[in-house]
């Protein structure tokens, strides 16, 4: 159009803000047709007769667990073994790849750039090893709370991933910050989601009101997932070793504070400065601290034992509570057994993983005293110092029963044995009664 108006190439280039050579190229161009697309003539393949079989197996795979679907190698082996197939593996592999794409077995997903606002919070668990008091805890959990706006974050180690661990970790971080988020974005973590219903509805624990991210949309919680990896690499490498988990968690909170004294990767401001904007958008702590413990009632068997975690973990009570209801106060660390008046019967260290049973023998002393010879087949005997073990072996059965009865009475009346270590209690008995 410009050229037909007798304008020079220089004027046209200036008007359109283009290079002079580009203007000349298109002024001189006469053929504006694009390149002709050609297709190869299709030929029949030895694979053609087997394609329906392959497609049927891949269709069936769509209902199978992801890790139990056919690979191209497995498809090839089954064709050779069961269908008399005698063609190349590559021919099968290429067709399987094309068919999987067609069937959307490899789901393609687009990602949206997200804008985060101050005060928005994400939470997730990570897995790591740690050593406490010379004991190695393998593949245990740590909770991460991230603030995408500032890129700040906090973490807390724990023995497992359960509701009590989640609530205790959140409470520790909230108290450290001095404030609480109005809402926290979660994945479908099993700690708060008890069931996912068709259509996306969820059954959640009655102690929590979370906000969930879209199913299979990991990019929505990309910030916290990156923080899970970042904090593991920076705070848990090499494998940390410490005497006490509670003290270690306090150190981790301070380490996370120190980590904010660096520049944000994109905003050219210090993370600590941006985090103050996050804090300003939070709400104050409640005046009454939140009770993070769980409470439930269980029924014991004829041995006074009960189970938790679908029968995987077994705990003792007392000979007074055989075939009876007891009341539990559960934290991430302890299982405290109580009677109907909330008086403590016994407390256990909470079991995790493959740990099967926690047996506290002291509450069974009364019953053992009635059958004094049975003491040699109980954990009470193993807890005694060598001097008392010798005494138990050498004394008469009646005297053995009398000693055990006195220990049982001291335990019932004063908590004598419960307040001291069993060996210390036994030593004290020897000093005063033998």
Q: Are residues 231 and 179 in the same domain?
A: yes
pLDDT band at 33 (very low <50, low <70, confident <90, very high): low
- Whether 243 maps to a domain, the answer reads yes
Which of 345, 360, 375 marks a domain boundary?
A: 360
The torsion of the CA quartet 236, 242, 247, 252, rounded to 10 degrees, works out to -10
Region 189-204 average pLDDT: 49
Give the pairing type, strands 185-186 and 211-212.
parallel
In this structure, what CATH number is given to the domain that contains residue 271?
Answer: 3.30.420
Across the chain, mean pLDDT equals 80
Spatial neighbors of 115 by CB under 8 A, at least 6 apart, are: none
Tokens (6 digits) for 163: 């509701």
The residue among 360, 381, 408 that closes a domain is 360
Tell me the mean pLDDT in the region 75-85. Answer: 84
- Provide the number of structural domains found in the chain: 4
Q: Is 330 contained in some domain? A: yes
pLDDT for 429 beyond 80 = no
Same domain, 353 and 369: no
SS3 assignment, position 204: strand
Q: Is residue 31 part of a domain?
A: no
In a domain, 370, yes or no: yes
State CA 320 to chain mean position distance: 38
Q: Are residues 188 and 129 in the same domain?
A: yes
The residues facing 329 across adjacent strands are 295, 336
Assess whether 225 and 150 both reside in one domain: yes
- Residue 378 domain-assigned? yes
More confident residue, 222 or 279: 279
User: 427: domain range?
Assistant: 363-433
Judgement on whether residues 318 and 393 belong to the same structural domain of the protein: no
Closest by Cα among 341, 342, 309, 337 to 321: 337
Q: At a CB cut-off of 8 Å and minimum separation 6, what does 185 contact?
A: 120, 121, 122, 123, 210, 211, 212, 213, 220, 221
Tell me whether residue 12 is in a domain: no
Is residue 430 very low, low, confident or very high in pLDDT (cuts 50, 70, 90)? very low
pLDDT on residue 5: 60
Task: Choose between 202 and 372: higher pLDDT.
Answer: 372
| Residues 321, 243 share a domain | no
At 267-325, the pLDDT tens digits run 889 999 999 999 999 999 988 999 999 999 999 999 899 999 988 999 999 888 999 99
**Is 345:334 a contact under the CB 8 Å cutoff?**
no
> Does 132 share its domain with 276?
yes
CB atoms within 10 A of CB 422: 19
Kindly give the pairing relationship between strand 313-316 and strand 357-358. parallel
Torsions phi, psi for 220 (to 5 deg): -65, -30
Residue 29 located in a structural domain: no
Whether residue 254 is found in the same domain as residue 379: no
């Amino acid at each position: 159009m410009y050229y037909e108006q007798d304008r020079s190439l220089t004027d046209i280039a200036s008007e359109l803000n283009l290079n002079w050579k580009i203007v000349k190229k298109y002024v001189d161009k006469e053929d504006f047709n694009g390149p002709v697309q050609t297709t190869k003539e299709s030929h029949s393949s030895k694979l053609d007769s087997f394609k329906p079989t392959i497609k049927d197996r891949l269709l069936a795979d769509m209902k199978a667990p992801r890790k139990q679907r056919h690979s191209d190698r497995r498809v090839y082996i089954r064709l050779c073994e069961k269908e008399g197939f005698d063609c190349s593996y590559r021919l099968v592999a290429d067709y399987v790849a094309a068919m999987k794409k067609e069937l959307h077995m490899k789901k393609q997903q687009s990602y949206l750039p997200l804008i985060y606002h101050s005060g928005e919070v994400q939470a997730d668990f990570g897995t790591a090893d740690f050593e406490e008091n010379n004991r190695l805890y393998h593949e245990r959990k740590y909770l991460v709370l991230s603030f995408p706006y500032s890129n700040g974050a906090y973490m807390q180690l724990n023995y497992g991933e359960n509701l009590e661990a989640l609530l205790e970790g959140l409470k520790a971080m909230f108290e450290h910050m001095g404030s609480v988020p109005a809402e926290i974005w979660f994945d479908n973590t099993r700690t708060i989601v008890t069931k996912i219903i068709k259509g996306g509805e969820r059954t959640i624990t009655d102690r929590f009101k979370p906000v969930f991210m879209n199913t299979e949309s990991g990019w929505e919680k990309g910030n916290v997932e990156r923080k899970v990896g970042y904090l593991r690499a920076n705070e848990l490498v090499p494998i940390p070793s410490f005497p006490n988990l509670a003290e270690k968690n306090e150190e981790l909170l301070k380490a996370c504070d120190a980590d904010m004294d660096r520049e944000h990767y994109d905003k050219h401001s210090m993370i600590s400065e941006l985090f103050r904007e996050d804090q300003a958008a939070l709400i104050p702590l409640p005046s009454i601290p939140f009770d993070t413990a769980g409470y439930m009632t269980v029924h014991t068997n004829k041995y006074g034992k009960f189970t938790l975690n679908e029968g995987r973990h077994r705990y003792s009570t007392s000979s007074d509570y055989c075939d009876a209801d007891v009341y539990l106060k559960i934290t991430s660390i302890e299982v405290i057994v109580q009677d109907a008046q909330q008086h403590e019967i016994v407390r256990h260290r909470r079991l995790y993983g493959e740990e099967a049973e926690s047996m506290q023998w002291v509450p069974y002393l009364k019953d053992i005293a009635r059958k004094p010879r049975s003491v040699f087949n109980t954990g009470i005997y193993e807890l005694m110092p060598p001097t008392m073990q010798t005494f138990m072996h050498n004394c008469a059965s009646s005297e053995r029963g009398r000693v055990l009865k006195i220990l049982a009475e001291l335990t019932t009346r004063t908590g004598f044995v419960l307040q001291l270590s069993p060996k210390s209690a036994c030593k004290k008995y020897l000093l005063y009664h033998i």
